[in-house]
Amino acid sequence: MQTHPQAFSDESFWKKLRRFARKAGSEVVERALVLYYCLRDPDTPAWARAVIVGALGYFILPMDLIPDVVPLTGFADDFGTLVGALVSVARHVKPQHRAMAAENLARWFGSLSEDEEHAST
């Protein structure tokens, strides 16, 4: 069985997002993207990269605690994992990571309303 870090690759990450972005919802996708851009930043330390790779690997794996195909709750465990990873590496998340994530979100989900924008900060 593949472990979470082994499941992560750029290709599998983008494939999962393209396939499930709408179903997962903007909150899950936004956190995944912020972590992805933080991971790609050369300033991010190795320990933080390991945390991010583990969380994104969990997001990518099709079989997890709550299967992603379960209506309404399928991405709840992924969301929790991504939030936990973000909290762990928060001091290494830069404004440009959030800006790049927001740019992708706007393309995929349309512009966020002010209420949604404030809720994600």
| 47-101 pLDDT tens trace | 999 999 999 988 887 665 555 545 455 677 888 899 999 999 999 999 999 999 9
CA-CA distances (angstroms) from residue 8 to 2, 52, 56, 76? 10, 10, 6, 19
Higher pLDDT, 11 or 70: 11
| 88-114 pLDDT tens trace | 999 999 999 999 999 988 887 875 444
Considering only 6-10, 22-26, 102-106, 109-113, which range has the smallest mean pLDDT?
A: 109-113
**Domain residue ranges of the chain, discontinuous segments joined by +:** 4-119
Q: Count of alpha carbons within 13 Å of 109, Cβ hemisphere only?
A: 22
Decide if 35 contacts 52 (C-beta within 8 A): yes
What pLDDT score does 72 carry? 52
Q: Is 113 exposed, middle or buried (0-12, 13-18, 19+ CB in 10 A)?
A: exposed
pLDDT band at 2 (very low <50, low <70, confident <90, very high): very low
Please say if the pLDDT value at position 115 is more than 60: no
Chain position carrying tokens 């936990």: 84
